[in-house]
Amino acid sequence: MAGSSFGQAFRVTTAGESHGPGNVVIIDGCPPGLSLSVDDLRADLDRRRPGQSRLVTQRSEPDAPEILSGVFEGRTTGTPIAIFIANQDQRPRDYGELASLYRPGHADHSYDAKYGLRDHRGGGRASARETTARVAAGAVAKRLIHEAFGGEVLAYVTQVGNIRAAIHDPSAVTLEQVERFGDGTPNLVRCPDEEAARRMIELIDQVRREQDSIGGVAEVVARGVPAGLGEPVFDKIKAELGRALFSLPAVLGVEYGAGFGCATARGSENNDVFIAEPGEAGVQIRTATNRHGGMLGGITSGMPIVLRAAVKPTSSLSREQATVTAAGEPAVVRTRGRHDPCLLPRFIPMAEAMVALVLADHWLRWRGQRAL
Ligand code: EPS
């Protein structure tokens, strides 16, 4: 009922606030025998970490995970895995005046309306800080789907403001292209089209100087996913993935495959033609194109899953904005905390984590339903 758990067979529950002692996730349902250590969690937590570059929030958090349970001698035991990530750079004093002010674009008013009280230190429970817990769980899910069926999930930025990347084949994009430019320097914006990425970085620098923020689009690709994952009717894999991505802060739109582009197409153009190819286990049915984004009838088709999420410009601005107090008096608010001028670079590991969680959950559900 209370909404802090996600998934059925691979079930995660998160707890934590932005300026409390830390964030925790409990993963229930991970099969025993999966090799797992904190090192498996670090790479994605580092990609999500605040303070990683000038383009993101300057809050300085090491985000060092601690595995408290469920792993013995380097392997999962099948019992709940608890992971704790401490908050170390809290500055609740920056947020004192927010106890009675509503920041535009934030959840302050909605939380008051729902609970009648709220932790006003930073975003509290609504802060993207909570996604540390999901990214840690997502790293476990990534290990599981890789071990189970060779599945891989990769996300990258395709748009910041009006700057769009040219991506010809989503399933050909590599982690190396997302993380580094050709000369080996870090790709701070995580857009694999280097020319577009450099312009995106300039734009983010510009909005930061103007005490403003900018939104964008991320694309997520899941490769190696077998055909047959997903449930009729309400737990269609597309519905589950939509729910997963919409549960992340700042997401205002999700589409997959041809997405909203399908509105202008005719059926004769939109249908992906089936083809048969020789595979390791006999004939493999595929489609010649992938406008359906890897899901038909809400069940995976065996083609790569391709999704996009639209992410809004960060609501926190260091410039003055008009608002009202909880009592309805006119007021001015200027967010003093440390914020991302663009959420997209850090959104990438969050989106990957949520997609991996859905795939891990549905692979376990598929396994539990195989015919005798
Ligand atoms: C965030 C607001 C800022 C960011 C935060 C995300 O934090 P605070 O809650 O202190 O205002 O710094 O990012 C992180 C600290 C993090 O680890 O992701 C928000 O409103 O989402």
Tens digit of pLDDT per residue, the chain (372 long)?
Answer: 699 999 999 999 999 999 999 999 999 999 999 999 999 999 999 999 999 999 999 999 999 999 999 999 999 999 999 999 999 998 877 778 888 899 999 999 999 999 999 998 888 999 999 999 999 999 999 999 999 999 999 999 999 999 999 999 999 999 999 999 999 999 999 999 999 999 999 999 999 999 999 999 999 999 999 999 999 999 999 999 999 999 999 999 999 999 999 999 999 999 999 999 998 889 999 999 999 999 999 999 999 999 999 999 999 999 999 999 999 999 999 887 789 999 999 999 999 999 999 999 999 999 999 888
CA atoms within 13 A on the CB side of 259: 13
Amino acid letter at 28? D
Q: How far is the CA of 33 from the centre of ligand 1 (A)?
A: 35
Question: Ligand 1: which residue has its CA nearest to atom 3?
Answer: 339
Record the tokens describing residue 162, joined without a space: 């009006």
What's the pLDDT score for residue 91? Answer: 85
Q: How far is the CA of 261 from the centre of ligand 1 (A)?
A: 34
What's the pLDDT score for residue 93? Answer: 79
Atom of ligand 1 nearest to the CA of 128: 21
| Residue list, ligand 1 pocket, CB within 6 Å | 18, 50, 57, 59, 61, 122-123, 127-129, 132, 249, 316, 337-339
Dihedral class, residue 292 (left if φ above 0, else alpha if ψ from -120 to 50, else beta):
alpha
DSSP-derived letter for residue 369 is: T
Helices (H) and strands (E) in the chain, counts: 8, 18
Report d(CA 336, CA 119) in Å as an integer: 16
DSSP 3-state assignment of 25? Answer: strand
DSSP 3-state assignment of 314? Answer: coil
Q: How far is the CA of 90 from the centre of ligand 1 (A)?
A: 10
What's the pLDDT score for residue 279? Answer: 84
What's the pLDDT score for residue 371? Answer: 85
CA distances from 53 to 40, 46, 49, 232, 233 (A): 22, 11, 10, 43, 43
Contact assessment for residue 126 and residue 20, using Cβ atoms and an 8 Å cutoff: no
What's the pLDDT score for residue 35? Answer: 98
Percent of the chain as helix, strand, coil, to the nearest 5: 35, 25, 40
Q: How far is the CA of 122 from the centre of ligand 1 (A)?
A: 7
What's the pLDDT score for residue 269? Answer: 95
Question: Ligand 1: which residue has its CA nearest to atom 6?
Answer: 128
Q: How far is the CA of 38 from the centre of ligand 1 (A)?
A: 23
Question: Ligand 1: which residue has its CA nearest to atom 7?
Answer: 122
DSSP 3-state assignment of 125? Answer: helix
May I ask the CATH class of domain 5-257+292-367? alpha beta
Q: Among 59, 316, 346, name the best residue to mutate to test ligand 1's pocket (greatest count of ligand atoms within 8 A of Cβ).
A: 59
Question: Ligand 1: which residue has its CA nearest to atom 8?
Answer: 122
Q: How far is the CA of 160 from the centre of ligand 1 (A)?
A: 20
Atom of ligand 1 nearest to the CA of 335: 11
What's the pLDDT score for residue 122? Answer: 83
